[in-house]
Chains A and B, each alone.
Chain A
């Protein structure tokens, strides 16, 4: 069974631009969660989607948004990028939210 895939793996953007990251969960998994990881902060929860609905949301500004499609694939969008948004963005999928999470390889976003 294929694992969680994320695209792109690396991205360089300029301040003020917007970016869209994609996550394809493991087949059959309906829950997708997004995390931001920076060296100083560790893993920070962004949001969780289950069956196309946002079920939980972390403490991030409204510039961070996401959505989930009917095939469980998910995207997250960051608008008006800031230098502090440079991080590794990780996606994790699970069968149903509270079960074991499987992480993708992440997207490394660099904002210049």
Chain B
């Protein structure tokens, strides 16, 4: 069964600190993996997209890594800011029996001053 699991479910960190969010998936065959940031009440905004051949991609203070062998990805946020408070959603595309896009449940990040 194609699944995407994210951890932790929620996270509280102090402003200026770093954090890492995890995403494990079972989607196969794999096409691509995306990380989205979603502010409360708004639509998700793409942070990074990676294909099978890519194992790291950065977008400012956001760095995503991908290990296609272990089917794991992480999103590292450096020097967190209050505006980083949001939900971070891992999305994996691929699968057999037709191309599918599977969304993880998200990690809710709270950055405190």
Give chain B nearest CB distance to A73 CB in angstroms: 17
Residues on A lying within 8 angstroms of B by beta carbon are: 4, 33, 35, 42-45, 56, 88, 90, 92, 97-98, 100-106, 108
Give chain B nearest CB distance to A17 CB in angstroms: 23
State whether B43 touches A97 (Cβ < 8 A): no
Give chain A nearest CB distance to B25 CB in angstroms: 14
Chain B residues with Cβ under 8 A from A92's Cβ? 43
Residues on B lying within 8 angstroms of A by beta carbon are: 31, 34, 36, 41-46, 49, 89, 93, 98-101, 103-106
Chain A residues with Cβ under 8 A from B43's Cβ? 4, 90, 92, 103-106
> In the complex, which of the residues B49, B101, B103 contacts A42, with contact meaning CB atoms closer than 8 Å?
B103
Chain B residues with Cβ under 8 A from A43's Cβ? 44, 89, 103
Chain A residues with Cβ under 8 A from B104's Cβ? 42
State whether A105 touches B42 (Cβ < 8 A): yes
Chain A residues with Cβ under 8 A from B106's Cβ? 42
Q: What are 20 contact pairs spanning A and B, CB under 8 A?
A: A33-B101, A42-B103, A43-B44, A43-B89, A44-B103, A45-B100, A56-B100, A88-B41, A90-B44, A92-B43, A97-B99, A98-B31, A100-B34, A100-B46, A103-B36, A103-B44, A105-B42, A105-B43, A106-B41, A108-B41
State whether A45 touches B101 (Cβ < 8 A): yes
A56 to B36, CA, bound (A): 22
State whether A101 touches B31 (Cβ < 8 A): no
Which residue from chain B places its CB closest to the CB of A35 in the assembled complex? B103
